[in-house]
Amino acid sequence: CGFGNMSRQFHRAIMEHLRRDNRPGRKPVLVNSWEAAYFDFDSEKLLELAGQAAELGIELFVLDDGWFGRRNSDLGGLGDWWVNREKLPGGLEALVPKINALGMEFGLWIEPEMVSEDSELYRQHPDWVLCAPGREPVRGRSQLVLDFTREEVRDYIYREISRVLSSANISYLKWDMNRSLTQVWSAGLPAQRQGEVYHRYVLGVYELLERFHRDYPGILIEGCSGGGGRFDAGMLYYTPQIWCSDNTDAIDRLSIQYGTSFAYPPCTMGAHVSAVPNEINRRRTPLETRGTVAMAGVFGYEMDLCKTSPEEREIIARQICRYKEWWDLVEQGDYYRLSAPGEAFTAWAHISRDKRRALVSLVTGPTHAAPPFMNLRISGLEPGLNYRINGAESFPGDLLMYAGYPLPLLLGDYQSMQLYLEAE
């Protein structure tokens, strides 16, 4: 029955039989500190950002890289999982209750599988990394890979991170992996068994994730690997959502999320609204469009909310309200690709299992002179039902499916629209 039905079969199989979600229901709308602060922050700056987020209806504040060790750039500190009290006086024990008092949950970024050479961990245990004997280490993002085939390595990482998790009310972890495995050689195995290292490494990652699930059952773990590099069914058992890509440009995300949707359901895709011009490609897209694209997955923000205008704050507050109203369609409904990413427009739909409600989203491409009149055919509806659109006009389901909904003229590059359909 085509790629669409194949995808929906994959989605249901993953959602109902594989994805282990220890926090069922709507996930909190989050803001991540990375693109707002990078490594340059202190408690005062974080609380200011959290206060702005709370006023807009955001429910989870995530502190990204830079909170631990002597981590002021990506050149050092990775592996030293103790709180940097120069940046955070009093530690997380002092910061997190203030975030909670704003009505927000608190989350942390970690990259437990990696280590910087400029770290106490590496200075004490240089043999704990994957590295071919007698060769210069191969670095990626100025870091090396810890040997997760070894139990003592996993025990150390678990002990250090669990000490942090037990120090404050932490409900979310972003588990990152920012480089590929190279020089896959373990000092813990003899030469004739080095072919086992790749497999044993992944088993070690699973084992450590399982320990965190067992001992911290209320924590939501989001997977990440330079974006979507670790988007696979095995990881979804332990990390029920995965950061879809470090490329947060809304127009690029149309293709990224379109491709991911062929196997993986929207409830597994982390998707955030970021600032413009986008830091990856310097493109400018309307805030409404960025929200529409991010609302196709697990919704959040990756920007400095302290720098937003009153008009932008109104749009953000409206986006958050809409997501909270429609989340069940996005996370639990059936997903339909209505068009491939292209020149004219990209469109998709989230439709309830009983086909009585639907959220249809559309983003246009670059504007050209004298644009043609276009209809959008909405797949997946019930032909015999009438659907009211955005609380106004009503159309028969078969008309919307086979003739299409007449699109208004959307002038300007990368405009967007959302249609909420409800059966009468």
**So which residues are the catalytic ones?**
176, 246
Sign of CA dihedral 385, 388, 389, 394: positive
Find out whether 92 and 63 touch, Cβ atoms under 8 Å: no
Burial category of 236 from C-beta neighbours within 10 Å (exposed 0-12, middle 13-18, buried 19 and up): buried
Contacts by 21-26, CB closer than 8 A, 24 or more apart: 21/240, 22/213, 22/217, 22/218, 22/219, 22/220, 22/240, 23/218, 23/220, 26/324, 26/327, 26/328, 26/331
Q: H-helix or E-strand containing 114?
A: strand 114-115
C-alpha to C-alpha distance for 246 and 251, rounded to whole angstroms: 13
Sign of CA dihedral 243, 246, 249, 252: negative
Q: Tell which residue, 181, 191, 179, has the closest CA to residue 133.
A: 191
Q: Which two tokens stand for residue 382?
A: 């019930």
Question: Which amino acid type is present at position 116?
Answer: S
C-alpha to C-alpha distance for 97 and 94, rounded to whole angstroms: 6
The full DSSP string for 137-155 is PPPBTTBEEB-TTSHHHHH
Residue 348, CA atoms < 13 Å, CB-side half-sphere: 27
Find the helix packing angle between 310-332 and 43-56, rounded to 10°: 70
